[in-house]
Amino acid sequence: MYAQGLNSTDPAAVEAEDPDRLAAFQARIDAEEKIEPNDWMPAQYRRTLVRQISQHAHSEVIGMQPEGNWVTRAPTLARKAQLLAKIQDEAGHGLYLYSAAETLGVTREALYDQLLSGRAKYSSIFNYPTLNYADMGAIGWLVDGAAIMNQIPLCRCSYGPYARAMILVCKEESFHQRQGYAIMVAMCRGSAEQRAMAQDALNRFWQPSIMMFGPHDSNSTHSELSMKWKIKRFTNDGLRRKFIDATVPQAHSLGLTIPDPDLRFNEATGHWEHGAIDWDEFARVLGGDGPCNRQRLKHRRAAEAEGAWVREAAAAYAAKRRGANERAA
Amino acid sequence: MTETATPLWEVFVRPRNGLAHRHVGSLHAHDAMMALQAARDVYTRRGETLSIWVVPSSAIVASDPAEKDMMFEPTATKIYRHPTFYDVPDDVGHM
């Protein structure tokens, strides 16, 4: 899901590897051994992980913006504190993930640069606007819910530092989903106007949420190698189905309607089946032309530029202290 | 960007007394004090810890995984280092 924008893997690059080393590597993966930073790995494995982990990190960092929009307008002090705690977690998750990516030999500065220059992708979901406070409920419930579906199998990813980062993230993420659902429960038990707000938020976030899992398996070219290398454990469609099966009863419990007239329960398979997904919209949003893409990047660039003097001052102070210590020695 | 790269630190936390400090991850900071404060914010948001260590990553000397056989294989043949190598007569009971 955080690898929505991955280019397809290049089979020629894999064939160029030493076949003996490649076979030994695959044997370790098949034996469920974790790969650690200094171990030999195929260049394509390294590249795929750098892209996937950094896109995941960028998603966490950009993901603070839609929620940050409502901090000053949260309805109570308690809800404001909860929202702030959640946003602080997103920052923390971004930092765990950047650190994991750096173990593969890429610098933090290079990763930031890829995000700020617009070359790197991040999850399409964060390019949708948050129009009212009910969206804080819908995002926690649906977006964090979808993220958990994706992240739990990543705790068993073959690359050790990514798996360990995901264990930390998953421990913290379940608070996010429950916090969001609790907002939906409060609104659905409230006035008719609040129920309408909750339904409206679900209407706007349902499609973008199920798009988070990425294209259908039949159109997902990079899946096969990622599955073979156990970077990925489940397919896009498999995870999407798990998410929908879990979420539909939660919507019904709230008394809300999933905005999909074709949604139906298949008695034979025991799964919910969804209607068509607007993949043109998905491609547009991922390609930079969603409702908020420009605003998100503009804001991120401004934050980076406005914080530059702090980083420069910290570096200058550290250099001065080093100089003083050397003179004293 | 005009900035130089910010040094990397490794973070270790002790969840409670009686347990050793455990590596939890890394972060970037210009000096030790900022590294400690960042470690508090990034790795201990839920009361997970009583104590934090931060160590410059460049100060860590690591063994080379490519030399792991030479490094560690000799212990595999020294089975007499394990208590189960030695037989104790049944009538002696647990030892």
Where exactly are the structural domains of chain B?
8-92
* pLDDT(A187) > 70: yes
Asked if the Cβ–Cβ distance from A113 to B65 is below 8 Å, we say: no
According to the model, what pLDDT value does residue B3 have? 53
Query: Regarding predicted confidence, which is higher, A242 or A7?
Result: A242
Of A92, A109, A317, the CB nearest to B45: A92
Contact A288, A118 (CB under 8 A): yes
Q: Please, which residues have CB within 8 angstroms of residue A324's CB and are 6 or more apart in sequence?
A: none
pLDDT category at A57 given cuts 50, 70, 90 is very high
According to the model, what pLDDT value does residue B78 have? 87
Shortest CA gap A314–chain B (Å): 6
Shortest CA gap B16–chain A (Å): 18
Please give the residue of chain B at the shortest CA–CA distance from A85: B45
According to the model, what pLDDT value does residue A297 have? 96
For chain B, report the end-to-end CA distance as a whole number of angstroms: 67
Tell me, yes or no, if B47 comes closer than 8 A to chain A by beta carbon: no
Tell me, yes or no, if B61 comes closer than 8 A to chain A by beta carbon: no
Distances (CA, A) of B94 to A188, B11, B90: 64, 42, 8
Tell me, yes or no, if A8 comes closer than 8 A to chain B by beta carbon: no
According to the model, what pLDDT value does residue A180 have? 96
Average pLDDT over residues A110-131: 95
pLDDT category at B1 given cuts 50, 70, 90 is very low
Measure CA A303 to chain center. 20
Contact A235, A217 (CB under 8 A): yes
Residue of B28, B10, B87, B82 lying closest to A318 (CA atoms)? B28
pTM recorded for the entire structure: 0.90
Average pLDDT over residues A245-258: 97
Give the least confident one: A91-95, A170-174, A190-194, A252-256: A170-174
Asked if the Cβ–Cβ distance from A40 to B66 is below 8 Å, we say: yes
pLDDT category at A80 given cuts 50, 70, 90 is very high
Query: Regarding predicted confidence, which is higher, A17 or A246?
Result: A246
Tens digit of each residue's pLDDT (9 = 90 or more) over B5-47: 899 999 999 998 899 999 999 999 999 999 999 999 999 998 8
Query: Mean pLDDT, chain A, as a whole number?
Result: 93
pLDDT category at B63 given cuts 50, 70, 90 is confident
Class of the A19-290 domain? Answer: mainly alpha
Domain ranges of chain A: 19-290
Q: Please, which residues have CB within 8 angstroms of residue A105's CB and are 6 or more apart in sequence?
A: A46
According to the model, what pLDDT value does residue A69 have? 95
The amino acid sitting at A109 is: E
Asked if the Cβ–Cβ distance from A317 to B30 is below 8 Å, we say: yes
pLDDT category at A324 given cuts 50, 70, 90 is confident
Question: What DSSP element (H or E) covers B83?
Answer: none
In SS3 terms, chain A reads as CCCCCCCCCCHHHHHCCCHHHHHHHHHHHHCCCCECCCCCCCHHHHHHHHHHHHHHHHHHHHCHHHHHCCCCCCCCHHHHHHHHHHHHHHHHHHHHHHHHHHCCCCCHHHHHHHHHCCCCCCCHHHHCCCCCCHHHHHHHHHHHHHHHHHHHHHCCCCEHHHHHHHHHHHHHHHHHHHHHHHHHHHHHCCCHHHHHHHHHHHHHHHHHHHHCCCCCHHHCCCHHHHHHCCCCCCCHHHHHHHHHHHHHHHHHHHCCCCCCCCCEEECCCCEEECCCCCHHHHHHHHHHHCCCHHHHHHHHHHHHHHCHHHHHHHHHHHHHHHHHHHHHC
pLDDT category at B4 given cuts 50, 70, 90 is low
* pLDDT(A13) > 90: no
Average pLDDT over residues A244-261: 97
Asked if the Cβ–Cβ distance from A36 to B65 is below 8 Å, we say: yes
According to the model, what pLDDT value does residue A220 have? 75
Cβ neighbours of A200 (radius 10 Å): 16
Q: Give the strand pairing for B8-14 and B22-28.
A: antiparallel
According to the model, what pLDDT value does residue A155 have? 96
Average pLDDT over residues A117-124: 93
Average pLDDT over residues A161-174: 92
According to the model, what pLDDT value does residue A182 have? 96
Contact A176, A86 (CB under 8 A): yes
According to the model, what pLDDT value does residue A3 have? 58
According to the model, what pLDDT value does residue A73 have? 95
pLDDT category at A259 given cuts 50, 70, 90 is very high
According to the model, what pLDDT value does residue A8 have? 46
According to the model, what pLDDT value does residue B76 have? 79
Tens digit of each residue's pLDDT (9 = 90 or more) over A25-43: 999 999 999 999 989 999 9
Average pLDDT over residues B48-69: 90
According to the model, what pLDDT value does residue A198 have? 98
Domain B8-92 has CATH 3.10.20.520: yes
Measure CA A238 to chain center. 17
Q: Please, which residues have CB within 8 angstroms of residue B92's CB and are 6 or more apart in sequence?
A: none
pLDDT category at A328 given cuts 50, 70, 90 is confident
* pLDDT(A309) > 60: yes
pLDDT category at A10 given cuts 50, 70, 90 is low
Asked if the Cβ–Cβ distance from B25 to A99 is below 8 Å, we say: yes
- Rounded Cα distance between A71 and A94, Å, is 19
Tell me, yes or no, if B30 comes closer than 8 A to chain A by beta carbon: yes
- Rounded Cα distance between A63 and A239, Å, is 21
* pLDDT(A14) > 90: no
Residues of chain A positioned with their CB less than 8 A from the CB of B65: 36, 38-39
